[in-house]
Amino acid sequence: MTEFTSETYQNEYLPSGGTEVNAVVRVTAWGSGAAGARTTGAAEIVLVDVSGSMNYPGTKIRAARDATTAAIDCIRDGVEFAIVAGTDTAREVYPGDGRLLEASDKTRSAAKKAVAGLKARGGTAIGQWLVCADALFAGAPGTIHHAILLTDGRNENETADELAAALSKCEGNFQCDCRGVGADWEVDELRQIASTLLGDVALIREPRDMRDDFTEMMERAMGRAVNDVALRVWAPQGAEVAFVKQVAPAIEDLTARRSTVNELTGDYPTGAWGDETRDYHLRVTVPARAVGEEMLAARVSLVVDGAAVSEAKIRALWTDDEALSTRVNAEVVRSTGQAEYAEAVQEGVAALREGDDRTATKRLGRAAQLAHALQDDAKLEEVGNVVDIDDPERGTVKLKGAVDDLDVQALDAHSTKTTRTRKPAS
């Protein structure tokens, strides 16, 4: 069976009158690849954009066919799967009769032949693709449901409300990793889809990169062994959970997705797990107590099939020792910095696209400053592709005279990706 462990990183000391408790809970799962570890079956759907824009250049549709073929090769025997071609409608390419088929040498070969015939034409209505996937997944109850979605353009053939309605219908039914190829897709649209469906979003810069990206996504999906895992948070009477955010490997605010277990306890969805580590930043407000007193501010568990499989405790101890109460915890600081970085980048990019150079310079300067403080060279490089960084420590930057649209897309799309310190902080 997959095993889970949890660790808490926090400064548990509060000053006299203090009420705000911050902690990072790190959850690690392992053993998913062991014999008997898998507790449920799996179902996979590839949603591939075949709208007319995929013909410009023609390398995109050819690369999409090749990448989908590579993804099919990664689907292990027994996993139910389907391929859907997306335009302003959704068409089941394989098997094509409203159901999923189990992967085998025979069905994988047939699916690849069907994919080889894909041609690009038509518009883009991503909500219809998702609803089609949802209907197909309904035929495989009790399995881990995962989709890969590829597009190169904006969702031009349906309204924002129609997409939102489709997402509302699909939420909780399957996870979806989204990829945009080139510079003409809308990051916020794919981020909305990935966030709602507990997946991730990333840029594929060049068509030739699709194959490796699809292979990595499908292999990661094949490694998931436990479905519908929830983060369960208990807080005592008088305490309140201010927020729950996943902060590694990507930032995702789960606060509004709480489902009530009882008056003191709520569950937050985390989707399916394989062998991996995820970090969660929790902020809990508690009633102030006298110096020298302590309390359990929260108890955090991973729950599978209603049973807790790991537990971490968040504590609060009141002190008049300023050295203790002002001590910073590196993991909490890093998590806060990562979240602020993502916000600064997204606001900076939005301002840049709107022609608000003053705001763009200010916010992207703050992003550079945060990336420097986080010692994240990859983030600093991505910011530096969009602005000239004069002094990263001060966040002094200048807008470049000409910026590659792909660099702007990459900065925006990857803003919520996070890195972890090499050694856990105390």
- Is residue 140 within 8 A of residue 43, CB to CB? The reply is yes
- Is residue 331 within 8 A of residue 24, CB to CB? The reply is yes
- Is residue 238 within 8 A of residue 286, CB to CB? The reply is yes
Place of tokens 């937050």: 268
Q: pTM for this one?
A: 0.95
Residue 34 has a pLDDT of 64
Q: What is the mean pLDDT of residues 407-419?
A: 96
Task: Check residue 235 and report its DSSP letter.
Answer: -
Strand arrangement, sheet containing 240-248: 3-9, 20-30, 276-285, 240-248, 252-253
For residue 426, pLDDT over 90 is answered with no
- Which residue in 116, 143, 145 sits closest to 130, CA to CA? 145
Q: What is the pLDDT of residues 352-397, one digit of tens each?
A: 999 999 999 999 999 999 999 999 999 999 999 999 999 999 999 9
Residue 282 has a pLDDT of 98
299 or 420, higher pLDDT = 299
Full set of structural domains in the chain with CATH: 3-36+226-326 (2.60.40.3670), 41-222 (3.40.50.410), 331-413 (1.20.120.1690)
Mean residue pLDDT across the chain: 96
For residue 153, pLDDT over 60 is answered with yes
Q: What is the mean pLDDT of residues 68-79?
A: 98
- Which residue in 43, 30, 38, 40 sits closest to 175, CA to CA? 43
Q: What is the pLDDT of residues 294-350, one digit of tens each?
A: 999 999 999 999 999 999 999 999 999 999 999 999 999 999 999 999 999 999 999
Mark residue 172 as left, alpha or beta (left: phi above 0; alpha: psi -120 to 50; beta: remaining). left
Place of tokens 């991973």: 302
Residue 424 has a pLDDT of 40
- Angle between helical axes of 126-137 and 160-170 (0-180°, round to 10): 10
* Cα torsion angle, 116, 119, 124, 128, sign: negative
Q: What is the pLDDT of residues 33-51, one digit of tens each?
A: 765 555 579 999 999 999 9
For residue 418, pLDDT over 80 is answered with yes
For residue 175, pLDDT over 90 is answered with yes
Tell me the pLDDT band of 202, cut-offs 50, 70 and 90: very high
Report the distance separating Cα 116 and Cα 161, nearest Å. Answer: 34
